[in-house]
Amino acid sequence: MRVTRRALLAGGAAALAPLPAFARDATYPPPDREAMLPVPGGRIYVRVNGDLNGPRPPLVLIHGGPGGTHNAMLDALELADQRAVILYDQLDSGRSDWPQDPANWRVPRFVDELEAIRHGLAVTRWHVCGVSWGGTIALEYAARRPAELVSTILGGPLITTRAWLADADALRAALPPVTRDTLLACESGTPPAASLCEQATEVFYRHYNRREDAPVAMRSTLGRGFDQRLYETMWGKSEFVSTGTLRDYDGTPLLAKLEGKRTLFMVGQYDEARPVTALGFAARVPGGAEVTVIPGAAHGTFSDRPAETIAIVRAWLSRHDTRAL
């Protein structure tokens, strides 16, 4: 199975960055607490590191996909030295229940999972960070303006499918001509051999999805792992054409409902969600949201440049903690 840009099941250690406190190719810290919490449609797996009753609001992280797992967010556990870090697998992913009912595969239901987690863990205030497809969920949740939300981080988010595909087209055009032409041919009525399309797509991924290999622990399978059926139903099979239920998704009207001083767009220098696009979205937020670009990272900022990403997230959270008081 190839890793897609939203699944983000694999990342990699930054070659030039200092390692986090725990070795990335060793075992990540075990959870301090685990639970299977009820959500609309079934139960989801949730793990917590750190003190939920500590002085700083917890951080919940939303993985990509649709169909990915929390594996890609494991480097964020380093933040648990200051606050509780909550990771979870969405329904029909990883260690959560797999009812495989397409009626559950709706954006609002995935957003509702957040409130189910908050109630299940008795959290009164928290920060929310969503990456890729997880950024879509975070956007939708923040637009509801829940009183419990302290701040929002949108990491390489899917805000609108049209913009995402436009970015993909622009990035494909910047690839070496042979790769670019192969990818274009793969979308034609007479595509080349599947192996050639796979090789060309992997070049695209190496440029814009993840530029470093994943640490061993992050590559391990959690539960049933990635849900290909869910991914293809909501997005589709192609990197450059969406045929699933998200094909007409447009979250841009929700940007007007966000609070600029409490919203951060976080993208990689080589992100599939291009920095210039993120800047345009941030400008639509009342008062203007903040934008940070992780040097040297592609779409998987946590996996490509973990130290830099953790430092940026840590500083952002600390700056906004007082809003929870």
Catalytic sites, residue numbers: 132, 271, 299
* Cβ–Cβ < 8 Å for 269, 297: yes
Dihedral class, residue 122 (left if φ above 0, else alpha if ψ from -120 to 50, else beta): left
Residue 301 structure tokens: 């900022």
* Cβ–Cβ < 8 Å for 108, 97: no
Distances (CA, A) of 60 to 76, 83, 164, 240: 10, 11, 24, 30
Assign 3-state DSSP to the chain and report helix, strand, coil percentages, each to 5: 40, 15, 45
* Residues ≥6 apart with Cβ < 8 Å to 181: none
Instruction: Please report, as a single letter, which amino acid is at residue 106.
Output: R
The bridge status of strand 42-49 relative to strand 59-62 is: unpaired
* Cβ–Cβ < 8 Å for 5, 209: yes
